[in-house]
Structure 1
């Protein structure tokens, strides 16, 4: 281990040989000596390093020893100085002493004499350092005592500023603290001429000298002009010659920056800087304590306010069930005026048994009886608190009066049930789709209208129930819905069984909070029957028109036809025309056919008189069976008759026979040889039904719409009046005709209302 040096000595002499000898000699005598031949070089070294004393020649070119020592004291006020001279006078000695030199040594001198002076000078240096440290320690102690008696951050800041200003003999002092966001520093306290105007000024946390110090947690000492761009001041101040900025650190966190400025160039010795750092540490701890205390007070105020003003009851309960502590809201919930009234009362619930093996439970909903006897609903959160050994100390928790919520929930349930009943029993269909036309809700009526179950509908697309020809209309309507336009229109759906469903739809679009279209609700009214009725009325109107025309001109046509037929029969009997008998028969046959057509036309007349009499449909059908069977046998086809007991109906037997014959012959003509026709009668509800079922190829879809239209026929020699007459006969009997068709054949149903209807 190396020996401890007696001290650091700065040797300055323009005589190189003497300076070198002195340095070597002192180094051998356990000093640490550094030699220079000019005052300027010595000052530069003094600015960069710490020295205990300066041993300088008095008479030197450029800067003499007195001038050098005077400048050295500006850098280190406690520097000990010794003058050497070979031409000394009393005057120069006096001047050296006035400057503060410790001693004066005349050249040539004995080494022992110089060493003795150096020892005394080092002792002086030690005493000065101890005094300085004592002063610094006292300052730190005084500051610690001053700030320990206060937790007011403003008081602490002012005491810190005053202590640093006194200790550092500075011109300006400022303390900067971080803002609540931590993104800026602001001047919290300032000392010095016109420094009060800087109070509250802010700088970004990463800019300027203070910002660098706060970010890097390092002390920064500046001398003269600042050239390093890292430390470029935000507002340059050329009058400041020396400055020191040190972070106020506590627990590795910067709680502020202490800035010390001097308008004179001065050196900050290691001891002074160390003392300032200790002072800064004391200040940081005091500021952090004050901040924590302030936060604690705010937290206490906040939680006291919450505790006192929260609508939730807060409680502590002893293991035996006694209330240990409650807040005002808890007292109000239980029906007491003051919390004190509840203390030592039993809670009415064994929480230990209630919790069982659980340490806590949340959202316990139960009914309790208030002090006034009223029963209310409450929601509780409770937990057990134990000591380090696991023994139970107490239960604590919160209680909330949820009576109004429970009443609202019950009202909501009743409302939902009521509206669910309304929706489910509504006479109209209700259909809700999302933005992609997928079904999200459908009521029972709508499902029935479409021919499927409710559960089958959810997730299905609207397009599953429309024909391609209606898809374009759907898309155009959706564009209107997306614009918020509600609309009502007629629409044709396709049921799951393939039948048409005509409806009036009222659409109301839905939108998200951001305005985006999310779907629509449709109220759907089934107008299929109305559409069919309108179609039937239009068809009947056409039949009426044809019938009225036939009634108007039938007489005028039949009279000439009768005359023509009579003369043809007369001429046919003459001998000269016997050879043309074949032609006469053909002409008479065609006249008879024309007369039959006129008769069918007259059957379409709206005002044609009918003779309704109580009759049994089975009797009429059975009387016609031989005629129908004869027609069937000619083409190798078969008839099957099935009848049920029927009530009597008011019928025009002649017209009913024509209706049955037309339907039967149409069915026979549609079948291939070997086919079988089923004729059935039965009662369905309050209707008597005649059904004619063939085994033909069915009716083509393009023809269905034209069924019953006068003069429309698919037969080569047909008139297109057979079914038209059937529909007219049914209308005159207040009956309806409908049919089912497919690849296995067609069934026509004639539905007669019973007499009581």
Structure 2
């Protein structure tokens, strides 16, 4: 039987016999109507035609083979629900063919029905069953009997296929759920690890981990400032090299201290300097090994404050005692006033301590400057760490030291002493000339009766860097998607041309004018796809002239109307007065034509397409409205993406070209969609229309 190519096919599958090449279905078509394949094998053409007449059905894809060899080739490339096999054939007979098919485990499930008009003997029937046949039919046979048998085998095949699909679907859903949970777990682990790192680096307290024997496992960077040791110097050392035994603490009993309880003791620095500290011990188990965490806080300043407070209190007590002795018990009012002052002093001291703790521990960059001359009164540790200035560089120095750099000439440096700023985006220059990003806020405050300015900078350098990296990755992802789209669209026509050239290579007489015209058409299609893609180029040369949009619409209207008449639809023009705009007539014509044809295709017979122009807020407006079923919300965000289309033969470049043309004309395309239809709005900017 000569190979053939089914009519009405636009593209074919490479690597299959030509009479089985079919148009590649889309994903949706494959799910909706997958025909069941049935293989009929007979060396006589009339017998194949008879079987085809008996089994003809829109649900079946009947495939004919003239010999056992040809049947084996088909089995290699297709999955059949049932095989109807003639026994007597030249070359490989039916028994030999069935034996070869059943020899491979992959094809043992395919039911084989032997059909013969000669060998009815019992030994032949038994031989047929022995090589894997499920039935043995002798001609002449009843057509209805054959149809019923084939229908039952097809039903079994379809049930098996549905079971496979359902099993695969459940497996994919389970895998997707597992991957989602794994992704969340990994994200939480990365987040916790990063938070732990940031906390360890930004804490002013020294954090030490050690084992049950007291040997140090890790320390944070604060140990350098507090003790003078580098982090590497302390790894493996005993914790007793940092803490001193005293009445309140036995270093060799650190692991017995209760958690969440701070203990005061003395610490020893690298250069034999001693200072008071508060320590707090916690513990955890990692892989059955107990690990202890020790937090050490330098309380030298606190001790000084407490000592000064004690001296002040003793002084006040002495003063009260002297006054009491002088005035005796008659001056109760004065005593009450002194107690009130004492309370105020204590409250003031508490407020100052709270403010100092907040000021020093804040991750934001904080400064206090005199409003009169900009002199720095104080800066916090975050400011010093981020700007790389030392405290001596800043203390009592006049404004400005930190230079603000802005992409926009906002004059921030000049206005710091005049106004309060709230979350102003700025860039500032560090001591080593590094430019960092941040948000600046300022507030006027009163410090001991003097007007001062409190500046707060939230550092955004890392976040800005990550945003730029994400934008770069998004652009790379878009390039990859567009490259895949181009390859997919060009490969289809190239496959057709290659198929015909392979055909002509083996049989030159088959290369008829019809096939040559088909190949030329496919090459023209590929060239058209490339041309449409080039229309997306942002740097494409345009030839803009000042003209009326209504003139362009009127010129293209007959072509749109003719297209509408062919499908029993109508087009209505509503042209209003609007200012002239500077545009490229060819490109705007293409946009109007693309949107209009899309609207016509979206409507049923009798639908109405409306093209409207008008002026709004000094801008020229173009509106194209159809009466279709609207755009599905699930794909709305993909509208205008190159190579995305819902049409069977579309390239997915039409709307993408419209958006590209609009961008070159500094125009904006918006759309509104519902079940009653879709409307596209094109707004030409005011600065173009008023030139």
Q: Tell me which interval the TM-score lies in, with the shorter structure as reference length.
A: under 0.3
Q: Which has the larger radius of gyration?
A: 1
Please give the TM-score of this superposition, normalised by the length of structure 2: 0.27
Please give the TM-score of this superposition, normalised by the length of structure 1: 0.25
Greater RCO (Cα-Cα under 8 Å, separation 6 or more): 2
